[in-house]
Amino acid sequence: MQAIKPDRKTLFVLMAMGLLLFVGWLAMRSPAQLASTATVTRGPLEVVFQEEGKTRIKERYVVATPVAGTVRRIMLQPGDTVQAGQTLAEVDAGASSLLDPRARSQAHADIRAAGALLAAARQRIVAAQAAERLAQADVRRARVLQPVGAIAQQELDQARARGDAARAELAVARADETAGAARLAAARALLSDEGRASLSSGSGKVLAVKAPVAGRILKRVIESQMPVPMGQALLEIGDPARLEIEAEVLSTDAVRLSSGTVARILRWGGEGALEARITRIEPGGFTKVSALGVEEQRTRVILELDTPHDRWAALGDAYRVEVEFILLRAPDVLQVPASALFRSGDGWAVYRLEKGKARRTPVQLGLRSALAAEITGGLQQGQAVIVQPDDRIVDGTRIRVAEAGS
């Protein structure tokens, strides 16, 4: 039996119908969505948060005049180096004020107060020396125990921080002793026989205001010669090489910090980041209004710089910095960009790229930072995920991967 061959007209009709069906299928198919992707990788992950901070001199001393009188012109400039006991300013004490009964009574009171302050400073020196010996003993024990795993690295860091704090407290106590002795000597000088003799002749006495400690001039309150009352601030002295960082941290973040917590100092004006650690968290908070007008509860956190001084020698008092507090560290974890995650019921999910299509994939999370999240289940290293998925992407959506820089 001979096969029936379709004529040419029938073939054209069938081809036209097939073409129409193909065009219709293309028209009805959803268009491919443009999206950026990232690869699931392994690497270190840190949980951090940042706050603005500023530098400050650890030990600042305000030098004031011990008597009322006329201060002579002060020639020292901010930044000048001074030694302990160096004359910083001279005050011409007025005769009438020194002979005044009220001023004489005040001088006697100053002697008693200066003596009490001196005695208290000496007691603090004894206590600070005992605290330093104890802190150094703790450091020596921690250095022996930490390498064998008996204690954590954080405990060693805390022991070192206590040792540094004890040394600083001892230095402050000794400086207070020097200042108290100077104040006592100045008060006694007002009532000395020589002073009374010079005043009886009608001439005023010149008192030298001396530096309590070695350091540099931070601020000159008074420059020109002028009358001043007793206790008038003249200069501020400190050591710019002994800086610390002060950061005002939200109270909800401060509860996650502790003494010894590691931090990095960023955008301080020099190259690279500086290493630091927390030495003190103030127990009291305060209310601060943010730039958006929102009242926030904050507390001050003080940090010690661990980076050698020659790296940050250009930093001065009250310079702005940014502090990055490191809450947790993981050396090697599976992770994805945080922008790839989205809520899925009570959990989290990502869109995994598979054969050009988006596949909704539930994931389990571990550590999370602002930029990345640890994946404990649901993905494997090397897989591609869609970052910043919008509502146009659903499970099965065709994806056109955006090229870098487009």
Average pLDDT, the chain: 83
Has residue 5 got a pLDDT over 70?
no
φ, ψ (nearest 5 deg) of residue 225: -65, 135
**What pLDDT score does 203 carry?**
45
Tokens of 279: 């030495």
Evaluate whether 88 touches 209 at the Cβ level (below 8 Å): yes
List the CATH code of the domain at 66-92+206-238. 2.40.50.100
- How far apart CA 223 and CA 230 sit, in angstroms, is 17
**What pLDDT score does 25 carry?**
56
Question: Is it true that domain 48-55+241-330 has CATH number 2.40.128.20?
Answer: no
Q: Which residues contact 228 (CB under 8 A, 6 or more apart)?
A: 65, 68, 69, 70, 71, 91, 222, 234
Q: Between 67 and 320, where is the model more confident?
A: 320
Strands in 81-82's sheet, in edge-to-edge order, are 61-64, 233-238, 215-220, 81-82
For residue range 85-122, what is the model confidence (pLDDT) as tens digits?
Answer: 899 999 987 644 444 567 667 777 777 777 787 788 78
33-44+331-401: which CATH topology? 2.40.420
Q: Which position has the token pair 């450091």?
A: 139
Indicate the SS3 state at residue 403. coil
**What pLDDT score does 115 carry?**
79
Q: Which position has the token pair 């011409």?
A: 92
Residue 191 pLDDT grade (very low, low, confident, very high; cuts 50, 70, 90): low
Has residue 201 got a pLDDT over 60?
no
For residue range 20-51, what is the model confidence (pLDDT) as tens digits?
Answer: 776 665 555 567 778 889 999 999 999 999 99
For residue range 288-326, what is the model confidence (pLDDT) as tens digits?
Answer: 988 888 899 999 999 999 999 999 999 988 899 999 999
Has residue 197 got a pLDDT over 70?
no
Has residue 126 got a pLDDT over 50?
yes
Evaluate whether 214 touches 180 at the Cβ level (below 8 Å): no
Contacts 24+ apart (CB under 8 A), 147-151: none
Among the ranges given (35-49, 78-92, 145-159, 235-249), the one the predictor scored with the smallest mean pLDDT: 145-159
Task: Characterize 29-64 residue by residue with b for buried, 16 or more Cβ atoms within 10 angstroms of its Cβ, and e for exposed.
Answer: eeeebebbbbebeeeebbbbbebebebebeeebebb
Has residue 365 got a pLDDT over 90?
yes
- How far apart CA 275 and CA 257 sit, in angstroms, is 16
